[in-house]
Structures are given as C-alpha cells and as structure tokens.
Amino acid sequence: MSGHKLMFSGLKLCPSGKNRWTNRLLSGVSGRGKASFSSCSRPKVCIVGSGPAGFYTAQALIKARQDVQVDIYEQLPVPFGLVRFGVAPDHPEVKNVINTFTQTAKQSRCSFYGNVTVGKDVSIEDLQQAYHAVVLSYGAEGNRSMGVPGEDLAGVYSAKDFVGWYNGLPSCQELSPDLSCETAVILGQGNVALDVARILLSPIDLLKKTDITQPALEALSESLVRRVLIVGRRGPKQVACTIKEVREMVNLPDTRPEMVEADFEGVTEALKDLPRPRKRLTELMLKTALEIPGEKERERRNAASRVWGFRFFRSPVEVLAHPDHKRTAGIRLAVNRLEGEGEGSRAVLTGEVEDVTCGLVISSIGYRSLPIDPAVPFDAGKAIVPNHMGRVQQAAGLYCSGWVKTGPTGVIATTMNNSFDTARSLMEDMDSGKLDISAAKPGSQSISALLEKRGVKAVIFSDWERMDRLEMRRGEAAGKPREKLLTVEEMLQAARN
C-alpha cells in the first residue's frame, strides 16, 4: 500500500459552480490522463464500504474531478458487498455491474483496501485526520427483529443470513439450515423473499450452473421442502416485489402456484386506477391466482412436485414450538384487514388468527444499518446516519451514501442515484469552500502506517484479482461460473499466494 505525498501550502480553492458538477459528471473524465492542477488542492476522500453505494460514490467523484484521490476501505478481504453476497445466484446479469466497479477500482486515483474494519482497526477520527472527507457507505448488515415469541427457536432464520449462507458470506457459513420439513413460510413479500422462495424450490440442475456455494448446493439437493408460502401483512395491490420476480416464480420448473381466491376480492375492479408498473404486476398475480390455465400449463402444474403461493393480509403473532420446545413446528398468523387505499393503506388486526404447520420460518422484513463508531451520529429508530442530502448532520467533512443514508430501499439503480447525490453534495462543499481542502492530508499513507503498527494486513485490488482468478478456476473445474472462497482465512491465503 502506498500513498502519494503531496504538498498543498498556499494553494487556492477551485471556483464553485453547480453547472460545473453536471458538466464533470456527464463528460465522464476517466482520470487516467495527467492534468495540471497548480491552482487547485488535491483533495483526498475515503469511502467506508465497497458495495454498490461505495463504488458508485467513488465513480462519481473520480469522473467529476480530475484531482481527487479516492480510497475505499472494506471489512472483508473481497469487494462488491451485496452484489457478491446479496444478488441471487441465478441472476448473473445483475452481477455484471461488477465490471463497472472493477474499472473504477483500477483507476489510477482509486485504491481498495480490504480486510480493514473501520471502528475497530481504525477509527473514524483516524480517517478524518488523514482525509479531507469521509463517506460512510457500509450498508445494512443487521437484521430487523420480528418481535414475536418463538423467533429464537431453531428453524427460524433471517433472510439476510439465509441469503448470506447460499451466497458465501463468511459470517453465515455456520448457519447450516434445517431443510428437513415439507413447508417453509417466508415473512415478507419483497424481491429478497422471492429470491429465497425460488432458491428453495429450484431444480438442483438449474442451481448447479450458478455460483451458489457447494455446501448450499449439497444441502438443497437433500432438502425436503416442497411447499413455500410467502406471507405479507397487506394485499396484492401493495406487494413489494417486482414483476420480474413474480414471473420467475410462475415459470419455475416443477412448481405450481397455490393462491387463496378470497385474497383477490375487489382487485380486478381496482386495476384501472393503478399506475402502469403496479397494474401489470397485479394483473400477473390475478391471472396466476384466478384464471383457468390452458391445457399445456394445466399439464405442467399437475405434474409439478412443488408448490408456492402468496398469503396476503397476514402478520406473524408467534412462532409455534415443537413439543420438544427446541425447534419450530409452525407459525401463528394474525388475519388483517386494510384501512385506507393504495400504497398508503394500513394493515389492521381483525382479532382472528390462523396456524400454519411448518418447520422453517424465514423472516424477510428488511435489513438494518448498525452504528459504526461512537464519533458518528446514529438514529437508532430509523437505523440510519442522520443526514441532509448525504451530509451527516453536525459532523463537518462526514458524508453517507446507500442504505446507511436512506434505509434499505430500492434496487441497485436506486443506490446509484442516491450515491451520485452524495457525491454532488461533497463536490459542492469542496467548490464552495464549506469543505476545507486547502491543507495537505496524508491519506492512505498515514492509515497504512497505523494498520501496520496494529498488525492489520490490508488486501489491495490486485490481491482480490488473484482471488477472483482462483474462484473462476475452481468454478470451471466444477462446471460453474465460480466457486467462492467461503472463509476470511481462505480469502487471505489466496490473496497472499
């Protein structure tokens, strides 16, 4: 690891101007060419987290300003965050964004330092002393609790951990989920819930061609799960997933849908008032639930050995224990009715409950950001770093992007726009003088020295490329796109070899 030693004394701030930001971003300056910046400071920015938010923020800063140096710090030895550990194995096209992130990481003015835990190996204060600006983009690695009795029983998992297990997140490799039951209940109806349902029910021959981990593949090949219910507290018109994910469930080989007709009462009449994307999604669900299928589809459904279905107007009340009191045997659901219309409608309890027998409960009710350092303000209620347009409140020089800024919402494109907005705020502050970039800052040079003193060996991007090549070779041998390294120890060993 090396840092550039630059002198800044007596240099003037660059002139401000909002149009200048737009021109910079649209011009797509690569940052590879040499340019003279004798009249401007050379600002150093560090980004904490190497997921989509971190890389999109870095990309925007580098394109917008030819003199900025961006260093990305990551807790794991490998980059890309939820693109690597969150995107479903059977969605390889979504992972293509890694190519763009790699281009950013290989820019001469961008450096990656993995295996560095900010808040432990280095503090935010250390980073603030070394850099002109610090951007927090470390995402949401906590789980939202259901807050119901029995959620600690064996057989109950968070979707975040379950997804991490089959995607190779080191902290989830001990999960070893029990798949010996017939019915699984997933709480939540977002895209992650449908990803989990699809992975549980997908034919093994399909999964074998993906980058799903070998232990997960072996466990799923022996799974007895044949029925998956995807439960939501509101109705079909409020479902949180997108049409692509529902279509994938409808077309999943060897499965058939199982819906409750009463859940769709009055939905057909409401179609005309729905916005187009919501209307198309609702029409697909209506067709799947209520239409009599054609002969070919009827044959396909009759031959299916696995079943999936949405269950609407239901909220978890209690996870029911097996007589041995050690594992789950079912879930008690409250029956709801809706108050209000459309997206703003609220689920209200009716007083009725129903019990569903199941041996597996997966809670997909959202990720949650965690505080990173006592020096950083944190809103525990909203589970975000309080900010205005990415500027952390009452903390000059501190910014945030991604889910730690907004909460866990949207898709990768949402995070991209959110990150570009934060980069814009940071650039405006540099240009206006609100962020002082006139004094020299040592950047990675001083952080490298601190890490060395503390016995922490950082992983740089060329180390990751070594790991990447190894994973690809291992995958090729198994007939897969890649076979992931599953522990931090394995990753570090591959990085050093």
Which pLDDT score, from 0 to 100, does residue 2 have? 35
- 272-322 tens-digit pLDDT: 989 999 999 999 999 999 999 999 999 999 999 999 999 999 999 999 999
Q: 376 or 13: which carries more pLDDT confidence?
A: 376
Q: What share of the chain is helix, strand, coil (3-state, %, to 5)?
A: 40, 20, 40
**What would the mean pLDDT of 99-117 be, rounded to a whole number?**
97
Mean pLDDT computed over every residue of the chain: 90
Residue 153 in this model has a pLDDT that exceeds 90: yes
- 414-436 tens-digit pLDDT: 999 999 999 999 999 999 999 99
Which pLDDT score, from 0 to 100, does residue 325 have? 86
Q: 197 or 409: which carries more pLDDT confidence?
A: 197
Which pLDDT score, from 0 to 100, does residue 344 have? 80
CA dihedral in degrees (22, 37, 55, 466; nearest 10)? 150
Query: Is residue 231 within 8 Å of 277, Cβ to Cβ?
Result: no
- 378-391 tens-digit pLDDT: 999 999 999 999 99
Which pLDDT score, from 0 to 100, does residue 459 have? 97
CA dist., res. 286 & res. 307, Å (int): 17
pLDDT band at 41 (very low <50, low <70, confident <90, very high): low
How wide is the angle at C-alpha 464 spanned by C-alphas 460 and 468, nearest 5°? 170
Give the largest Cα separation in the chain, rounded.
80
Q: Is the dihedral of CA 74, 21, 417, 84 positive or negative?
A: negative
**What would the mean pLDDT of 207-220 be, rounded to a whole number?**
97
Residue 471 in this model has a pLDDT that exceeds 70: yes
**Tokens standing for residue 36:** 């003279």
Which pLDDT score, from 0 to 100, does residue 340 have? 84
**Tokens standing for residue 115:** 């295996």
Query: Is residue 322 within 8 Å of 156, Cβ to Cβ?
Result: no
Which backbone phi and psi does 227 adopt, to 5 degrees? Answer: -140, 130
Structural domains of the chain, with CATH? 18-29+40-141+369-459 (3.40.50.720), 144-367 (3.50.50.60)
Which pLDDT score, from 0 to 100, does residue 29 have? 36
CA dist., res. 264 & res. 10, Å (int): 70
Residue from 60, 44, 46, 45 nearest 8 by CA: 44
pLDDT band at 491 (very low <50, low <70, confident <90, very high): very high
Q: 338 or 226: which carries more pLDDT confidence?
A: 226
Which pLDDT score, from 0 to 100, does residue 144 have? 86
CA dist., res. 400 & res. 390, Å (int): 5
- 331-370 tens-digit pLDDT: 999 999 998 877 788 999 999 999 999 999 999 998 899 9
